[in-house]
């Protein structure tokens, strides 16, 4: 039973029928007890059910994953825990942030989908993306080293770092019917499809919906402003 159905099933007191007001039955109103306690109990039961379902479905529907590196900065910061939605793997779109199983290594990485099946992908300067011969639009940000990519999200370009060698995408790369080209948002500090090539749909475990935990290991503080941060 969902929390919504529990709240909908609350019974209305008989003396609150149409036409009965405080002035109609003053005696009854004096002896009527507040119904706050049952409401709190119902909310607690609903929360308990939702929490139990989340625990039962962990790794089946939703999963908590820690991101230890800065390869997705500024979207995801080091040592943040993100929420992976396994059900969303059936509908993947451009710019989705996804969790990928690298296969033989057993390692999982978090990247952003840039190229879709059947598209031609090329990179210029190892970070500017061309799709089917057309460049993605890039907008300047007030913070140095940041760009808006495709009018959708922010990527990090740090000029004093050497970008990874582009083995895939230096020239037009045609993606297969089940292949995706993925990149890290921290474009100069990410090992992604430029290095390992396109990823197969079967290796994508789902999309990332948000951040629920964030702790700065350098400053030794919780990043409270990052809690419940939606990933886009």
So which residues are the catalytic ones?
71, 111
The rounded distance, in Å, linking the Cα atoms of 77 and 219 is 13
Alpha-carbon distance of 50 to 60, in angstroms, equals 15
Q: Is 46 helix (H, G, I), strand (E, B) or coil?
A: helix
CA-CA distance, 25 to 34, in Å (whole number)?
16
Q: What does the buried/exposed string (b/e) look like for 168-206 if buried means 16 or more CB atoms within 10 Å of the residue's CB?
A: bbeeebebeeebbbbbbbbbbbbebbbeeebbeeebbbb
At residue 39, the 3 state secondary structure works out as helix
For 204, the token pair is: 């994508």
How does DSSP classify residue 50?
H
Rg of the Cα atoms in the chain: 25
- Other CB atoms within 10 Å distance of the CB of residue 43: 13
Please give the structure tokens belonging to residue 94: 């451009």
Region of 175 on the Ramachandran plot (φ > 0 left; ψ -120 to 50 alpha; else beta): beta
């Amino acid at each position: 039973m969902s929390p919504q159905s529990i709240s909908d099933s609350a019974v209305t007191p008989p003396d609150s029928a149409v036409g009965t007001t405080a002035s109609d039955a003053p005696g009854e109103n004096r002896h009527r007890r507040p119904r706050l306690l049952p409401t709190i109990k119902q909310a607690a039961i609903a929360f308990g059910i939702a929490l139990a379902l989340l625990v039962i479905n962990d790794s089946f529907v939703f999963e908590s994953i820690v991101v230890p590196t800065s390869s997705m900065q500024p979207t995801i910061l080091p040592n943040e825990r993100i929420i992976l939605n396994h059900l969303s793997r059936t509908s993947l779109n451009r710019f989705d942030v996804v969790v990928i199983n690298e296969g033989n290594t057993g390692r999982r990485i978090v990247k952003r989908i840039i190229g879709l099946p059947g598209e031609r992908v090329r990179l210029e300067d190892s970070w500017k993306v061309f799709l089917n011969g057309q460049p993605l639009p890039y907008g300047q940000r007030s913070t140095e080293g940041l760009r808006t990519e495709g009018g959708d999200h922010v990527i990090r370009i740090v000029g004093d770092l050497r970008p990874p060698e582009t083995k895939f995408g230096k020239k037009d790369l045609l993606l297969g019917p089940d292949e995706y080209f993925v990149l890290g948002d921290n474009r100069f500090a990410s090992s992604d499809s430029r290095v390992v090539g396109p990823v197969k749909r079967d290796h994508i475990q789902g999309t990332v919906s948000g951040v629920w935990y964030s702790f700065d290991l350098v400053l030794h503080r919780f990043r409270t402003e990052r809690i419940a941060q939606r990933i886009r």
